[in-house]
Structures are given as C-alpha cells and as structure tokens.
Homo-oligomer: A and B are copies of this chain.
C-alpha cells in the first residue's frame, strides 16, 4: 500500500482562525475569587462601588482645617491669626491641624496648606486665603456609591486589585478559567520516566502545551498517552468532551498513521485540516459532539517546532475567546537579519531567530540541530503570506511569542 503524502488543501491562517473561533462561544460560567487571586481574571459583571470615595470629607493636604471665610484677606504681608484647637469642631476664629486624609472637623470647610502658615504658640498665622472647599476632598467626589468602577469584561491587574480593596470589596465575580484537556497521541511516544527504545521518544508535547495553556490563561490537564488506534482516540476524545477545549498532539497530518482528523470527523466535525503556516501545516481544527455538548478541538502536529507554533497560533486564541480574555499582545523589537530567511509564498512562516546587539540570526529548523537550536532562540520573525522571505541586511520585526 502506498504511503499517503501531502495535503490537498491549505487554508490561510486568518480564515482558519475565523472558521474555528466562530464555531464556539465564550464560556458563560462565573465564579467568585478573592481579591488576592483576581490578577489576570476577567470581570463577569460591572463592579459598582459599595461606598462613596472618599467616604468622608477629607483633607487633601497637610495643614490646618479652617472656616474659609475666616481667611479672607489673609496674605504673606497680612497674616490672619487663628486659634489651634483639637476638638472635633472648629468655631469661628479657630482651626485644627490636619494631615492628608484626616477628616475635616465640623464647622470647617477648607484646608490651608502648611506651607502657607506660620506657627505662633497656641495660634497659627494664616498667610493666604482659601475658598470654601479648597484642599478638601468631599465625600463621594471621586466615586459615588453604586457608580460603575470597572466594566464587565475587564481583565484585572494589581492596581485594580488595590482599588477594589480600597473600596471595601473582598471578592469579585469573574469568568471561570477554560479547562483544557491535552491528549498526547502516537505509538512511538512513551511516558516520561521510561527509557525510550529505538523508534520511541519520551512524551514532551503534552508538558509543553500544559505550560503554554497556563500562560494563555487556561487550566490544563494532561491525558495519558493514546496509541494510534481509531477507537482508542475516539474514546479519549469523547471522555474529554466534558472539558471546554481539547488539544491533541501528534497524528494530525494525512499519513496512514495520522488518525486524528478521521477520529474527530467520526464524533464531531473537522472544520479545517491543513493550514498555510510553516512550520505547522498539519493542524486540524474542529469540534467534538458528546453528551449534547460541542467541544472545540485543536489537533496539533507531533513535530515539536510545528506543535509549538500551532499551539500559539490556534490554541492561544481559543483559550482567550473561551475565557473572555483580550487577545495576546507580544513585545516586539526591530532587528537586522544576518542571513536570508527563505519562505514559500502563500504560507505564513515563523522563523526562530537568536537576537544579539540588534542583529537577528535565523536558526536551523530542519534536520539535525532542531532541538539544540531551541536553546539559542530568542524570538520569531514572521514572514507574511505575500512575501518570499527576507534578505540578509533587511530590518525585520522580532516577535517575542514566548
């Protein structure tokens, strides 16, 4: 029997993403998390302030709380003497020392900055006038009770957590994290901890994707290795349908041992098989139907470099959409190529480069040196579909995908 080779079709990355991402909806499930655990989580509803901010009339300065009218006409040349009291009330002719944040005592309606005063025993000389309300933060001036502070869909960061805490909130409602089941497949794959024989290799794509999924924002689990058997693969897919997303590694191409697309088709639908991306063409996107539920699935190729790229290109946006996360945005840098990057028109090509002193050197991605080149890679140069590579000396953008 002849070996099969090559895809009949290839879909552009943008079209493949469009087809795949429009086949499922973001997760509806929500949960409450403590403020200490809210970093990076996405609000499932608007946050209303539980109180006025500030929640009392407060001094905005270090100085003296006064009745503003007592200071009228005061200046450096003509200071006004006020009596310093410590009572909770300031009567005409009196003032009380305050710090930034101190409550404004009853009767007072403004604060004179300490820089505009001169102490004089039990009195203080006010060397400038203030108007009513000056240097006072009135209750609710910043945020009123029940004002919307953060909108639904916001991804929280540490300074947001500080604000939520300062408003008295202890927890917030957020969308649940997408649960992702990673299924390594391939009869040449042996578990980590087992010494591989000739023709075998230790499982590695599963653990790589486990860490990627955590970075994307999902909660990963890794399934036991599934051999290249249609029934066993199908069984594993159906079991995993309880998850929010399934990611398989290996067997995603069109060779006779590549059973993933067939398995997906038999329990769901293959939406895309073969994408115009290098490395990573043999990727399949679709969904599983089981228990009245559709679960999106990404079948990644087993070749590690292709597996990594397809994971970042397809699994990341899927996790982001499921979890209501904003799209990933990467740090980029300009660099000058030390060598030509060849690429085939019609494919988007991800070339690993090492970067030093503003110079980017493409790394080997074929044959020997595949694995060892990983240790030199800093980022990627992405050659778009409408270009045939970049020349040595060209200034390119290096994308730090990891």
Contact = CB atoms under 8 A, between A and B. Distances in A.
A210 interface: yes
A369 B158 contact: no
Interface stretch (A8-16, A55-63, A262-270, A290-298): A55-63
Contacts of A367: 60, 137
Interface string A169-207: 010000000000000000010001101111101111101
A119 to B, nearest CB: 5
Contact of A192 (B35, B99, B205, B332): B35
A163 B374 contact: yes
B165 A207 contact: yes
This protein's copies in its complex? 2
Interface stretch (A72-80, A211-219, A384-392): A211-219
Interface in A115-160: 115, 119, 137-138, 141-143, 147, 149-151, 154, 157-160
A161 B5 contact: no
A370 interface: yes
Interface in A215-273: 215, 255, 257
Nearest to A100: B303
Contact of A165 (B62, B192, B255): B192
Nearest to A151: B375
B56 A161 contact: no
Contacts of A165: 192, 202-204, 207-208
A53 to B, nearest CB: 5
B370 A142 contact: yes
A274 B8 CA distance: 68
A58 B369 CA distance: 14
**Interface size bucket, A side?**
35 or more
A371 B137 contact: no
Given A103-B198, A195-B168, A53 B204 contact: no
Contacts of A356: none
A87 B167 CA distance: 75
Interface string A81-122: 000000000000000010101110000000000110001000
9 contacts: A3-B97, A58-B199, A101-B199, A142-B370, A151-B375, A157-B211, A162-B208, A162-B308, A330-B331
Interface of A: 1-3, 5, 35-36, 38-39, 53, 55-58, 60, 62-63, 97, 99, 101-103, 114-115, 119, 137-138, 141-143, 147, 149-151, 154, 157-163, 165-168, 170, 188, 192-193, 195-199, 201-205, 207-212, 214-215, 255, 257, 304, 307-308, 329-332, 367-372, 374-375, 377, 400, 402
Given A157-B402, A162-B207, A166-B202, 4 more contacts: A56-B199, A158-B208, A158-B402, A162-B304
